[in-house]
Amino acid sequence: MKRIFCLLLSALLLSLTACGGEAPPAVSSAGSSSDVGHAEDPPQKALPFTLAFYPEYSLHPVLGANRANMTLASLLYESLFTVDASFQAQPLLCQSWTVSEDKLAWTFTLRAGVTFSDGTPFTGQTAAAALDLARSPGSRYQERLADIAAIAASDEAPNQFTVTLRRANGSLPLLLDIPIALGREDRPAGTGPYMLSEDGTALTARTDWWQRDKALPVQSILLRTVTRSDELIYDFDSGDISLVDVDLMATNAMGYGGNYQTWDYPTTDFIYLGFNTRTGVCRTANVRRAISLAVDRDAVATTVYANHAISTLLPVHPASPLYQPGEEPLTYDPEGLAAQMESLRLQGAELVLLVNSENVAKTSAAQLIAYQLEAAGFTVDLRQLPFEDYTAALSAGNFDLYLGETVFTADFNLSSLLSSTGALNYGGWWAEGADSLLAAMQGAAPEEKSVPAGEFFALLNEQAPIVPILFKNGSVLTQWGQLSGLSPVRGNVFDQIENWTVQ
């Protein structure tokens, strides 16, 4: 088993190397650069700052779906709030806000003097209309805004609007980093620092941008027309495109080459091990806790995910203020596990572990976890299934363990995964008080959230319905030496672009 695993791991590392010219660096931290390629090799040619553009696809930041075009959207459109690398909401187009005591009614006051690129004033009416579109069918944000019951502009104050919720949420601003566009056309006006040129060949800096005190690094950004993903790869590898935003561990991750630098940023993309708590060997909390001691999260994050991830003890990102592992978290502990295996008579116990076969990183992670469990004394039946068969097996409860992935909202609403009625609670976990603690976490203001969060995480540590493993990073790849000063965040790789230097 060990020899087979080593061969599989070597194959994975070779495939990861193919994505970047060399194996990724040992450390990759959010907002910092990691060098991929040869430091001594300068770029073969000096080109203007150029980004990819798919003209056949929409540029609308809410209705569009093309990843390269959505990368561009961060330069054209702004949001009411931004979410920083610590998953805290920072006001942008919003000046101030008030919230009712029950956390159901929020009134937002907008900044004065903001206009769209066509000169239209930014008002409560336009903001309300944009958010209404964002929660409509076909929007990328429909599910995120499902708890909004109504959005209404103020009749008395043109720079205000009110959001009414169906369920209390004390951290609503964290959900409102949604780009605001004027209308629903494919090329709508925005309030951002750049605007699309009339011929669609460049982004040009706006002279009437409301943040006039910020000096942009370039006044014009060329757009390279792309129609297929292989063209995007070729143009970046050849240096004709300066920057791409990628998930290097995605199911359909594209392989980039050439000399480039990598700038990682934290995301809410969560990888975890789920238990069947209804039937089988994992139905008791003591067994689940013992299995948790066998999983070396750091090895998965550093080896399989090549440091494009951060290990975690909770279903909350370690950079978040909500992260409270407690005094005795369930960490990798081979010695403690050996004692548990003996006392619970688990030696040789059979476990069925499911994983989606269509993602190389996840199958490699599942293989590593299976090896760790077998080294502890379990017998593991690792089943790599196509996605439809994988989800069918989860729904039918035909598993003891499964390797899962979900993307949380920035407020780390855990209900879909861990509430008794959650759509992703395939293991059927329920514990007295869990649902009420989840509701209390969601409804509490940020400064009050740590108390119910701490209580809920203590319950998770006791019950172990899942084994949190890691949060994936997003990655910005830039041509070697062309850009510096990047501080990308989830949803906006151009965050603080005024601090960039473009060679």
| C-alpha dist (Å) from residue 436 to 144, 148, 254, 440, 455 | 21, 21, 43, 6, 11
Per DSSP, helices labelled H in 246-301 are 285-292, 297-299
Residue-averaged pLDDT of the chain: 90
Cβ(75)–Cβ(203) below 8 Å: yes
Confidence of residue 257 (pLDDT cuts 50, 70, 90): confident
Per DSSP, helices labelled H in 302-359 are 334-343
| C-alpha dist (Å) from residue 110 to 77, 91, 351 | 15, 10, 55
155 is a domain residue:
yes
Confidence of residue 8 (pLDDT cuts 50, 70, 90): very low
Bridge partners of 310, per DSSP, are 471
Question: What digits encode the pLDDT tens for the residues 60-69?
Answer: 999 999 999 9
Q: What value does the mean pLDDT take over residues 140-163?
A: 96
The per-residue pLDDT for 39 is 39
Cβ(60)–Cβ(186) below 8 Å: yes
With a pLDDT cut of 90, the percent of the chain lying above it is 84
- Same domain membership, residue 294 and residue 203: no
35 is a domain residue:
no
d(CA 333, CA 331): 6
The per-residue pLDDT for 60 is 97
- Same domain membership, residue 291 and residue 189: no
- Same domain membership, residue 358 and residue 457: yes
- Same domain membership, residue 299 and residue 414: yes
Q: Of 41-55, 138-152, 352-366, 419-433, which range is least confident? A: 41-55
CATH number at residue 338: 3.10.105.10
Question: What digits encode the pLDDT tens for the residues 326-374?
Answer: 888 999 998 888 999 999 999 999 999 999 999 999 999 999 999 999 9
The per-residue pLDDT for 252 is 66
CATH number at residue 220: 3.40.190.10
Tokens encoding 243:
């920057």
d(CA 309, CA 266): 8
- Secondary structure (3-state) at 353: strand
- Same domain membership, residue 176 and residue 65: yes
253 is a domain residue:
no
Q: What value does the mean pLDDT take over residues 70-75?
A: 95
- Same domain membership, residue 308 and residue 160: no
Question: What digits encode the pLDDT tens for the residues 289-321?
Answer: 999 999 999 999 999 999 999 999 999 999 999
- Same domain membership, residue 198 and residue 125: yes
The per-residue pLDDT for 472 is 97
36 is a domain residue:
no
- Same domain membership, residue 171 and residue 283: no
159 is a domain residue:
yes
Question: What digits encode the pLDDT tens for the residues 202-212?
Answer: 999 999 999 98
Number of structural domains found in the chain: 2
Q: What value does the mean pLDDT take over residues 47-70?
A: 95
- The model's pTM is 0.90
- Same domain membership, residue 376 and residue 320: yes
- Same domain membership, residue 138 and residue 272: no
What residue numbers bound the domain in which 199 lies?
A: 50-241
Question: What digits encode the pLDDT tens for the residues 388-405?
Answer: 999 999 999 999 999 999
Question: What digits encode the pLDDT tens for the residues 156-208?
Answer: 999 999 999 999 999 999 999 999 999 999 999 999 999 999 999 999 999 99
- Same domain membership, residue 309 and residue 226: no
231 is a domain residue:
yes
Residue 115 above 50 pLDDT? Answer: yes
Confidence of residue 253 (pLDDT cuts 50, 70, 90): low
360 is a domain residue:
yes
pLDDT higher for 258 or 325?
325
Residue 240 above 70 pLDDT? Answer: yes
Question: What digits encode the pLDDT tens for the residues 405-429?
Answer: 999 999 999 999 999 999 999 999 9
Q: How far apart are the first and last CA of the chain?
A: 50
- Same domain membership, residue 320 and residue 390: yes
Longest CA–CA span in the chain (Å) reads: 73
Q: What value does the mean pLDDT take over residues 377-392?
A: 97
What residue has token string 């429909």?
Answer: 142
